[in-house]
């Protein structure tokens, strides 16, 4: 393989028992390939660099978490005044062909595949290196890299691929299993699905000895100054995160039985590893609530500047500039209101701490700074959470969606609200919105179900499902290649 230079962010977990300095993000390092991949520490740096680059605005630090993908999922009120909303009005109308959104989609695609390339670089060199790895580090590094490769391909398939439930044979995206700068051919969606599942299953086997299974998430660094690579396990694609991705992807690919099995496995072990958040940390701590329910987060990114997400997109002090928020009638009449007809309840913890009133409106505060800015929770961008596993179990329990009611009610109990008496697809969608709002999953839910996107309580504003809405055209960079 030719010699070249790789630019990564070097991440170092500090050996400190204090959570306020659990992560140190060093400046960019210029490291030659030979130097980077000649030691165990070099492999860890490359892997950690991939995790950090997931925080890019083009990926989960913006576009695929709180911004672009959530607008497509109907999460926000987007006005028509271009002097305020700019290009967002086009996206809310699913006009993917504008020059601006073609460029934005191209950036997301290129960033995802550049990280896939780095996963493959790491994986290929793992097989040829003469480096001796400590303990289970070889398996953990390889398992996490395979899972990262699968996760990135999965989200590119969900974004740019066809509606899987309708067109599994349709050409979709390429799947890169080797390090290569030569464009690969587009594959039918079902072949991409098979490759994603294969990578996740292999990763799960490699991560069977993940310390998260015996010692939990280990959110305190060792006091003896030893390596922290095996710590902070919910900040990495640990065994349960990979199992959760298998549940999420199996449901998307129509394998309800597998989705149920994987989600239930995670739920079964949740009590000791990812317990439901303590109410006192949410509603009993009004000055510093745990708005992301951190104990339940199975996998999160760590973003040292996470507060910029709130300031850039949700902070009401930005007015008269655009601010993202839910339609007021939708919020009060359905999602967190409506009583027995919708399951909405304003006693819901997710409403009480995440939606703060300013004037006549409420604004989304999930990503606002805690008072204790050095707290590890203040850096977390949730990627997979326990609540989603309950919803997947409910949806996949049986062809009769009502059979999953007990899972939804268990989740609702943990959110401080009463039981539903019945479960329909519509009621389940409302639960997904309550649980995953602002985390980049709503558009993919509607696409998977091929259901109308819920923007407001006015039916005429809720676009009917169509291939034009749910299939984003491949980027120019790909079609030109």
**Residues in a beta bridge with 297:** 385
Phi (first) and psi of residue 379, to 5 degrees: -105, -5
Tell me what percent of the residues of the chain surpass a pLDDT of 90: 79
Q: Provide mean pLDDT across the span 374-381.
A: 89
pLDDT computed for residue 28 by the predictor: 39
In this predicted structure, which of 8-22, 47-61, 366-380 has the lowest mean pLDDT?
8-22
pLDDT computed for residue 32 by the predictor: 67
Work out the pLDDT band at 14, boundaries 50, 70, 90.
very low
pLDDT computed for residue 13 by the predictor: 33
Phi (first) and psi of residue 291, to 5 degrees: -70, -20
Half-sphere exposure in the Cβ direction for 189 (13 Å, CA): 23
pLDDT computed for residue 35 by the predictor: 74
Give me the residue label for tokens 């400046």: 27
- Write the pLDDT tens digit of every residue in 110-134: 999 999 999 999 999 999 888 999 9
pLDDT computed for residue 272 by the predictor: 87
pLDDT computed for residue 284 by the predictor: 79
In this predicted structure, which of 62-76, 159-173, 280-294, 372-386 has the lowest mean pLDDT?
280-294
pLDDT computed for residue 454 by the predictor: 96
Give me the residue label for tokens 């210029």: 30
pTM over 0.85: yes
> In whole angstroms, how far apart are CA 431 and each of 249, 265, 345?
19, 21, 11
Tell me what percent of the residues of the chain surpass a pLDDT of 70: 93
Inter-residue contact 348 to 416 (CB < 8 Å)? yes
Work out the pLDDT band at 3, boundaries 50, 70, 90.
very low
pLDDT computed for residue 31 by the predictor: 59
Largest CA distance in the chain: 64
Phi (first) and psi of residue 363, to 5 degrees: -125, 150
The CATH number given to whatever domain includes residue 261 is: 1.25.40.390
Instruction: State both tokens at 184.
Output: 């690969």
> Exposed, middle or buried, 294 (CB in 10 Å: 0-12/13-18/19+)?
buried
pLDDT computed for residue 12 by the predictor: 33
- Write the pLDDT tens digit of every residue in 38-83: 899 999 999 999 999 999 999 999 999 999 999 999 999 999 899 9
CA pseudo-torsion sign 149, 154, 157, 160 = negative
Q: Provide mean pLDDT across the span 361-370.
A: 94
- Write the pLDDT tens digit of every residue in 177-212: 999 888 899 999 999 999 999 999 999 999 999 999
| Local structure of residue 332 (DSSP, 8 states) | I
* CA pair distance 90, 95, nearest whole angstrom: 5
pLDDT computed for residue 481 by the predictor: 65
Domain hosting residue 141, numbered range: 5-480
Give me the residue label for tokens 């309800």: 256
Res 467 pLDDT > 50:
yes
* CA pair distance 146, 116, nearest whole angstrom: 9
pLDDT computed for residue 2 by the predictor: 31
Helix locations, 315-420, DSSP H: 328-330, 349-354, 386-396, 405-413
* CA pair distance 377, 293, nearest whole angstrom: 9
* CA pair distance 363, 354, nearest whole angstrom: 8
Number of neighbours of residue 186 by Cβ within 10 angstroms: 18
Instruction: State both tokens at 355.
Output: 């939606």
Inter-residue contact 27 to 57 (CB < 8 Å)? no
Phi (first) and psi of residue 191, to 5 degrees: -70, -35
The per-residue b/e assignment along 371-408, b for 16 or more CB within 10 angstroms, e otherwise, is eeeebbbbbbbbbbbbbbbbbbbbbbbeeebeebbebb
Q: Provide mean pLDDT across the span 464-473.
A: 97
Helix locations, 274-356, DSSP H: 279-282, 307-313, 328-330, 349-354
Of 302, 365, 308, 309, give the one whose Cα is nearest residue 21. Answer: 302
Q: Provide mean pLDDT across the span 442-468.
A: 95
* Count of structural domains, the chain: 1
> Residues 442, 439, 294, 258: what is their CA dihedral angle, to the nearest 10 degrees?
50
- Write the pLDDT tens digit of every residue in 207-264: 999 999 999 999 887 777 677 888 999 999 999 999 999 999 999 999 999 999 999 9
């Amino acid at each position: 393989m030719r010699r070249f230079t790789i630019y990564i962010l070097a991440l170092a977990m500090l050996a400190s028992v204090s959570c306020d300095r659990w992560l140190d993000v060093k400046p960019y390092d210029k490291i030659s390939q030979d130097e980077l991949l000649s030691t165990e520490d070099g492999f860890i740096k490359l892997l950690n660099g991939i995790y950090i680059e997931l925080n890019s605005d083009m990926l989960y630090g913006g576009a695929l978490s709180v911004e672009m993908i959530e607008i497509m999922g109907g999460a926000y009120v987007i006005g028509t005044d271009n002097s305020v909303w700019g290009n967002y009005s086009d996206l809310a109308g699913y006009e993917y062909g504008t020059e601006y959104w073609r460029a934005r989609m191209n950036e997301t695609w290129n960033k995802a595949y550049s990280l896939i390339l780095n996963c493959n670089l790491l994986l290929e060199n793992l097989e040829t290196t003469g480096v001796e790895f400590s303990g289970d580090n070889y398996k953990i590094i390889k398992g996490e890299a395979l899972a990262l490769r699968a996760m990135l391909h999965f989200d590119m398939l969900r974004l740019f691929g066809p509606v899987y439930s309708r067109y599994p044979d349709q050409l979709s995206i390429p799947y890169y299993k080797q390090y290569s700068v030569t464009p690969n051919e587009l594959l039918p969606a079902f072949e991409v699905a098979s490759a994603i599942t294969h990578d996740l299953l292999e990763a799960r086997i490699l991560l069977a000895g993940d310390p998260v299974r015996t010692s939990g998430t280990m959110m305190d660094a060792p006091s003896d100054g030893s390596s922290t690579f095996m710590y902070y396990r919910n900040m990495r694609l640990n065994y349960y995160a990979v199992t959760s991705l298998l549940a999420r992807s199996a449901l998307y690919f129509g394998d309800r039985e597998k989705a149920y099995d994987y989600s239930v496995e995670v739920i079964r072990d949740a009590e000791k590893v990812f317990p439901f958040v303590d109410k006192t940390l949410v509603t009993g701590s009004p000055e510093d609530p745990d708005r992301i329910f951190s104990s339940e987060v199975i996998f999160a990114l760590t973003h040292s500047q996470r507060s910029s997400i709130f300031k850039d997109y949700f902070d009401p002090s930005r007015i008269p500039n655009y601010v993202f928020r839910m339609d007021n009638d939708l919020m009060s009449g359905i999602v967190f209101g409506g009583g027995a007809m919708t399951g909405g309840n304003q006693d819901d913890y997710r409403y009480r701490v995440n939606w703060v009133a300013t004037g006549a409106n409420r604004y989304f505060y999930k990503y606002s700074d805690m008072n204790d800015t050095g707290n590890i929770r203040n850096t977390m961008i949730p990627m997979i959470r326990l609540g989603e596993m309950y919803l997947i179990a409910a949806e996949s329990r049986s062809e009769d969606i009502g059979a999953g009611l007990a899972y939804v009610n268990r989740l609702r109990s943990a959110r401080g609200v009463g039981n539903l008496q019945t479960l329909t697809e519509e009621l389940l969608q409302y639960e997904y919105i309550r649980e995953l709002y602002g985390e980049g999953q709503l558009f993919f839910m509607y696409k998977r179900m091929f259901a109308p996107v819920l923007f407001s309580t006015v039916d005429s504003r809720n676009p009917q499902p169509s291939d034009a809405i749910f299939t984003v055209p491949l980027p120019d960079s790909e079609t030109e290649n």
